[in-house]
Amino acid sequence: MITPHLSWILLLPLLGLGLVCLVPSAKTVLIRRISKVAVLAPFILSVWVFAAYNHLAGGFQFVVNVPWVVPFGISYHLGVDGINSLMLLLLGAISFAAVLISGSITERVKTYYILLLITIIGTYGAFLSLDIFFFYFFHEVAAVPVFLMIAIWGSERREFAAMKLTLFLVAGAAIALIGLLALYLSTGLQTFDLVAIQQQLVNHPLPVHVQSWIFPLIVLGFGITLTLWPFYTWAPVGYAEAPTAISMLHAGVLKKMGAYAIIRFAIQLMPQAAHAWMPIIAGLAIINIIYCGIVALTQRDLKYILGYSSCSHMGYILLGLACFNTIGLNGVVYLMFAHGIMAALAFALTGFVADQTKTRNLDELGGIIKCMPFIGTCFMMAAFASAGVPGFANFVAEILVLLGAWDQYRLFTILAVLGLVITAIYMLKAIRLGFQGPLNPRFAQLVDAQTLSAKFPYVILMALLIFVGCWPTVILTHIGSSTKTIVESIQ
């Protein structure tokens, strides 16, 4: 059987990036075409990887391992298990959709696609890497392109938002880096290879006093990426001002790198410290859910609602991480996927609306579902998904997290359910004020997404959301094969 070679997932978009750099900037049609192919190719490969992954065998598959910096034990080590194969699929779908909806960008097209492709390549690299150094390396690659994209193509407060987002994320990354380096040095293995470190630490865990200071550094660092309360403030403003593609990618995938890193580097490698620290994190997670949810209630700007909503929902991921059981962890990974698709869809739709109406304020919008039936319906479905209505992927994920948390955190679980009610309130409010009611005459001329190609990006995301929501076993078997080993090693 032919097995996919993971390096191509990086090399093909890299090739596309090179080509885009060479094309003269006036040939925008060609640039757009190359970019579409450059993200479609890794998407197809990701689907292939996901389908070809053997969940019965488990473990890391399709491994590529090339020594890179020998004195430090850094290697170009790629491989997938049930968790990151799903993340690849998530990134593939969202990045493809993000490039497709970028047609509305008409200024400095070449720079735009170059930066977008760098961001996407960096994110692919981070999810593929089984080497701690390269994870960090790729994860930081996206920082500056995202800054420039927000600062150049963002809306009104773009410069402030870009700077705030970047500085928060880089601060988090710097803290995490110190934690990761301390981890590397304390294992004494002289390798950044995740698999080797895992094997070593299962049998010879680090001393508890060492774990107990490295763990919070890593969790705090990546927690900032994951909008852990009270370090979430970069996200709402960042997502609101960013161009649509970046909002989609960041809320959908990039922040999930934080959760991914916490699972892989913190909880799995330092279980003793995790047991001591995670209850505190669970407490913060509940503040995330309730506080950010209430703030979302008060917002009038559609993108701010989505931004706060996204911060609020990260609370479920953090709560699930604190469970230490298979159900909870399955829920976390499931939610990373489900929330990613949902958030990307919602941001894409909002971007579509805002491009035409030039406003995102709910008081000015109104009744636009009448002239945009397709977009409006999609938005309603995304909102239902977000509120955890059965039939969508988020329902399965959130139920799993809540079930996982119930045994240890009764009160927190009840509050988390309350958070879903809050979500339903602000989402319904957004639908009622923005999409239903009397049509503002200003918007009588609005045009819906009419052609199939215009609808396509939304259709992909919507289809995934419903498919995964109605047939959870497809991805639960994948996730389960990997979470089982993680939970066994941490209990």
Based on the shown chain and the rule CB under 8 A, indicate whether residue 421 belongs to the binding site for other proteins: no
Widest CA span in the chain: 69
The nearer residue to other proteins, 74 or 368, going by C-beta atoms, is: 74
The distance of closest approach from Cβ of residue 169 to other proteins in the complex, given in angstroms and rounded to an integer, is 10
The nearer residue to other proteins, 52 or 171, going by C-beta atoms, is: 171
The distance of closest approach from Cβ of residue 220 to other proteins in the complex, given in angstroms and rounded to an integer, is 11
Of 426, 356, 353, nearest to 384 by C-alpha is 426
d(CA 41, CA 24): 23
Which helix H or strand E contains 68, and what residues bound it?
A: strand 61-69
Site residues for other proteins, 47-106, by CB under 8 A, read: 68-72, 74
The distance of closest approach from Cβ of residue 267 to other proteins in the complex, given in angstroms and rounded to an integer, is 22
The distance of closest approach from Cβ of residue 217 to other proteins in the complex, given in angstroms and rounded to an integer, is 9
Selected range binding other proteins among 83-91, 176-184, 243-251, 258-266, rule: CB under 8 A: 176-184
The nearer residue to other proteins, 151 or 197, going by C-beta atoms, is: 151
Rg (CA), the chain: 21
Q: Which residue has the tokens 């963002």?
A: 154
User: Do 8 and 49 meet the contact criterion of CB atoms below 8 Å apart?
Assistant: no
DSSP per-residue codes, 371-392:
T-HHHHHHHHHHHHHHTT-TTS
Q: Which pair of tokens denotes residue 332?
A: 């976390």
The distance of closest approach from Cβ of residue 372 to other proteins in the complex, given in angstroms and rounded to an integer, is 32
Q: What number of chain residues touch other proteins (CB under 8 A)?
A: 34
Amino acid code (one letter) for 34: I
The distance of closest approach from Cβ of residue 184 to other proteins in the complex, given in angstroms and rounded to an integer, is 7
Based on the shown chain and the rule CB under 8 A, indicate whether residue 184 belongs to the binding site for other proteins: yes
Of 484, 460, 482, nearest to 100 by C-alpha is 460
Backbone angles phi, psi at 153, to 5 degrees: -105, 10
The distance of closest approach from Cβ of residue 156 to other proteins in the complex, given in angstroms and rounded to an integer, is 13
The distance of closest approach from Cβ of residue 141 to other proteins in the complex, given in angstroms and rounded to an integer, is 6
Query: Which of the 8 DSSP states describes residue 211?
Result: H
The distance of closest approach from Cβ of residue 69 to other proteins in the complex, given in angstroms and rounded to an integer, is 5
Query: Which of the 8 DSSP states describes residue 265?
Result: I
User: Do 165 and 238 meet the contact criterion of CB atoms below 8 Å apart?
Assistant: yes
The tally of CA atoms less than 13 A away on the side-chain side of residue 220 is 14
Based on the shown chain and the rule CB under 8 A, indicate whether residue 166 belongs to the binding site for other proteins: yes
Based on the shown chain and the rule CB under 8 A, indicate whether residue 206 belongs to the binding site for other proteins: no
Of 352, 343, 351, nearest to 386 by C-alpha is 343
Q: Which pair of tokens denotes residue 8?
A: 């191509």
Residues 116-155 as x/- pattern, contact with other proteins by CB under 8 A: -----------------x--xxx-xx-xx--xx--xx---
d(CA 385, CA 316): 15
**Which listed residue (30, 51, 63, 167) binds other proteins by CB under 8 A?**
167
d(CA 373, CA 352): 13
**Which listed residue (174, 280, 417, 463) binds other proteins by CB under 8 A?**
174
The nearer residue to other proteins, 161 or 460, going by C-beta atoms, is: 161
d(CA 25, CA 327): 50
SS3 199: helix
The distance of closest approach from Cβ of residue 27 to other proteins in the complex, given in angstroms and rounded to an integer, is 15
Based on the shown chain and the rule CB under 8 A, indicate whether residue 19 belongs to the binding site for other proteins: no
H helix intervals, 226-270: 234-241, 244-249, 256-261
Based on the shown chain and the rule CB under 8 A, indicate whether residue 171 belongs to the binding site for other proteins: yes
Site residues for other proteins, 307-336, by CB under 8 A, read: none
Selected range binding other proteins among 162-170, 315-323, 374-382, 480-488, rule: CB under 8 A: 162-170
**Which listed residue (11, 19, 23, 182) binds other proteins by CB under 8 A?**
182
The nearer residue to other proteins, 165 or 329, going by C-beta atoms, is: 165
The distance of closest approach from Cβ of residue 51 to other proteins in the complex, given in angstroms and rounded to an integer, is 31
Based on the shown chain and the rule CB under 8 A, indicate whether residue 160 belongs to the binding site for other proteins: no
**Which listed residue (63, 185, 417, 474) binds other proteins by CB under 8 A?**
185
User: Do 4 and 128 meet the contact criterion of CB atoms below 8 Å apart?
Assistant: no
Based on the shown chain and the rule CB under 8 A, indicate whether residue 170 belongs to the binding site for other proteins: yes
Of 159, 346, 321, nearest to 247 by C-alpha is 346
Rule CB under 8 A: which residues touch other proteins? Answer: 68-72, 74, 111, 133, 136-138, 140-141, 143-144, 147-148, 151-152, 159, 162-163, 166-167, 170-171, 174-175, 177-178, 181-182, 184-185
